[in-house]
């Protein structure tokens, strides 16, 4: 039932408990509102928009205002976002977090975890900052992972402006929501991963394809990495990390030539 709910939710995120109950009953399941609600909460799915079940602000954590209303995003590293989604597996489920650049749609870092503690979100942020420098603004929801002191201190310590989605606003972090739809339909549902190691390897291959080969209509049919690395230049020399230790922020770099548009 959770697998069916996940796929239907990706299609119709506006379905609440009652409509999901009707959907499952048409599939032959004898289920009531209470059980459907329990399953949806376990998966971290709520009507209108998908959020982890800890997206409620922690009472002791600071919440920051949304800074991106009427802001035109026109260059890489202007705005980054992070979000968490539920990933179904044949043997249970996991949570996927990713950091995405708004201008290019490039996935800068990601992690898969079987728990919703803040540590894997801090790790994904550290990797993105170590690899690609600092954005001007970092946007997320108000989930406790993103309002935790460990996470916020990484941003404030780097002088990055913090933006958080307004509660109940489905489109504040729309680029990440679109990414989740692509990930699920183009990777998760097609492959039916058995466990976390299988899913991690599959997602690694998918994100390499997504960044370097998958054309985006909104990017004039360029790939995210072409936009992030090259902009409108035909060629651009990049300094990229080849060995990374994000705990010590130590990186070894080499220069490569990236093909742009």
pLDDT at position 231 is: 55
Q: Which two tokens stand for residue 57?
A: 């602000």
pLDDT category of residue 201 using cuts at 50, 70 and 90: very high
The β-bridge relationship of strands 137-140 and 161-164 is parallel
User: Can you tell me which residue has the tokens 């972090």?
Assistant: 173
Find the radius of gyration of the CA atoms of the chain: 19
Confidence (pTM): 0.72
Q: What is the pLDDT of residues 7-46, one digit of tens each?
A: 888 877 778 888 899 999 998 999 999 999 998 888 777 7
Kindly tell me if the per-residue pLDDT of 210 is higher than 70: yes
Three-state secondary structure readout of the chain: CHHHHHHHHHHCCCCCHHHHHHHHHHCCCCCCHHHHHHHHHHHCEECCEECCCCCCCCCCCCCCCCCCCCCCCCCCCCEEEEEEEEEEECCEEEEEEEEEECCCCCEEEEEEECCCCCHHHHHHHHHHHHHHCCCCEEEECCCHHHHCHHHHHHHHHCCCEEEECCCCCCCCCHHHHHHHHHHHHHHHHHHCCCCHHHHHHHHHHHHHHHHHCCCEHHHCCECHHHHHHHCCCCEEEEEEEEEEECCCCEEEEEEEEEECC
Q: What is the pLDDT of residues 34-93, one digit of tens each?
A: 999 998 888 777 765 444 444 545 455 678 998 998 889 999 999 999 999 989 888 788
pLDDT category of residue 246 using cuts at 50, 70 and 90: very low
d(CA 128, CA 121) in angstroms, rounded, equals: 11
- How far, rounded to the nearest angstrom, does the alpha carbon of residue 55 sit from its chain's CA centroid? 14
What length does the chain have? Answer: 261
pLDDT at position 9 is: 83
pLDDT category of residue 252 using cuts at 50, 70 and 90: very low
- How far, rounded to the nearest angstrom, does the alpha carbon of residue 183 sit from its chain's CA centroid? 10
Q: Which two tokens stand for residue 47?
A: 């009507």
């Amino acid at each position: 039932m959770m697998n069916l709910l996940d796929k239907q939710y990706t299609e119709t995120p506006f379905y609440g408990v009652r409509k999901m109950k009707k959907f499952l009953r048409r599939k032959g399941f004898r289920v009531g509102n209470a059980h459907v609600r329990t399953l949806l909460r376990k998966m971290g799915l709520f009507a209108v928009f998908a959020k982890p079940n800890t997206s409620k602000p922690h009472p002791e954590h600071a919440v920051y205002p949304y800074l991106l209303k009427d802001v035109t995003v026109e260059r890489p590293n202007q705005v980054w976002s992070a979000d968490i989604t539920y990933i179904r597996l044949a043997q249970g489920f996991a949570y996927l977090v990713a950091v995405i650049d708004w201008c290019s749609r490039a996935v800068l870092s990601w992690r898969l975890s079987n728990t919703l503690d803040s540590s894997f979100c801090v790790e994904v942020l550290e990797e993105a900052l170590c690899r690609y420098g600092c954005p001007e603004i970092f946007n997320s929801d108000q989930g406790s992972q993103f309002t935790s002191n460990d996470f916020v201190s990484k941003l404030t310590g780097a002088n990055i402006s913090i933006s958080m989605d307004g509660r109940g606003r489905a489109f504040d972090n729309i680029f990440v929501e679109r990414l989740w739809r692509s990930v699920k339909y183009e990777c998760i549902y097609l492959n039916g991963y058995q466990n976390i190691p299988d899913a991690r390897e599959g997602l690694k291959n998918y994100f390499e394809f997504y960044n370097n080969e998958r054309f985006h209509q909104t990017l004039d049919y360029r790939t995210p990495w072409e936009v992030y690395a090259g902009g409108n230049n035909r060629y651009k020399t990049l300094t990229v990390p080849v060995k990374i230790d994000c705990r010590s922020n130590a990186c070894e770099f080499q220069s490569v030539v990236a093909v742009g548009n």
